[in-house]
Amino acid sequence: MIKLKILYFFILAMITISAVAEDHGQTTANKLPAPIIAPSHNLSTHSVPVLDATMSHLEIGEGEPIIFIHGNPTSSYLWRNIMPLVADKGRAIAVDLIGMGNSGKPDLDYSFADHYRYFSAFISTLNAKKVTLVGHDWGAALAWEYARNHPQQVKQLAFMEGVLPPTLPFASFEAMGPEMGNMFKAFKDPIKGQELVIDNNMFVEQILPGFVNRPLDEEAMNQYRAPHTELVSRKPLLAWPREIPIGGEPKTTSKAMEDIRDFMGVTKMPVLLLYASPGVLITPQDVPWYEQQIHQLETAFIGQGLHFIQEDQPEAIGRALNDWIRRH
């Protein structure tokens, strides 16, 4: 399993650093025929005061909140084709994390702790006794951390392609393998990290389209680009990979991953794991670990996909979520 993950991260490194990746047309020849996945949506957009800033969200439906949480480098836009499929089950809300999407961009470090603080404050604005959380990438980690700290408020939790145990934390750069270890050393380097993520915008321009199993059209790419057109607005995009816990650093995210792993083993809340093949962070080979760790776990295979599976299989994800929410 570890070797497989290293292979995927090696592919990621090649996409992000190789000059070949500069030409997106060269990376699509072996991909699936493009399905009809709408780049536009009719969801309502809202903005609310949160701490010293504002946070925006997309919304559809009424009732108990179903909160969708994105990761790096995406936004609430990632969930546009999934939310309507659960709108008959509650108030579907896709939040833009602080510094991302249309949310405010205050002067922060954009650490995991910063994101958690603003995300928690955002949920408080909903005045909801019970919520359902649906997380992806770092959004999955935020969902689990919130559920750990608010077990009485979180009714149930669904996650996919999460930055989570058992993959994290990593023991050392060396334990990650040479390609993956060198890539994250570059992210943490003050000069190389700036060049790769801030100057070249590689998370949006290379990693995102590279880990969708179809060519993303220009309208969708422009939607993902829009929040980070200015160099200073890309600060959160660099902060996220620097928050990956390696060798006990950063201490906050290392502790968070350990706490989440422990919580997974004791929680009795209903949990849904959605996974794709081949996947990246959560592969089919990882599913047995979660089945053994989480008491009330259900799993849903949603078909072929890489990391940003909402852009590959929105209908399968939405229907699986709808059925799971209906039964709980």
Q: List residues with catalytic annotation.
A: 137, 161, 307
What is the number of other CB atoms lying within 10 angstroms of the CB of residue 218? 10
DSSP character for 170? B
- The rounded distance, in Å, linking the Cα atoms of 302 and 292 is 21
Q: Is there a contact between 237 and 110 (Cβ–Cβ < 8 Å)? A: no
Alpha carbon distance, N-terminus to C-terminus of the chain: 32
3-state secondary structure of 123: helix
What b/e readout covers 61-85, taking b as 16+ CB neighbours within 10 angstroms? beebbbbbbbbbbbbbbbbbbbbbb
* Phi, psi dihedral angles at 277 (to 5 degrees): -120, 125
Q: Taking Cα atoms as reference points, which of 22, 13, 15, 19 lies closest to residue 184?
A: 13
Per this entry, what is the length of the chain? 328
Beta bridge partners of 54: 49
* Phi, psi dihedral angles at 104 (to 5 degrees): -60, 160
Q: Is there a contact between 210 and 31 (Cβ–Cβ < 8 Å)? A: no
Q: Taking Cα atoms as reference points, which of 126, 148, 117, 115 lies closest to residue 67?
A: 126
Torsion of the alpha carbons at 121, 122, 126 and 128, rounded to the nearest 10: -60
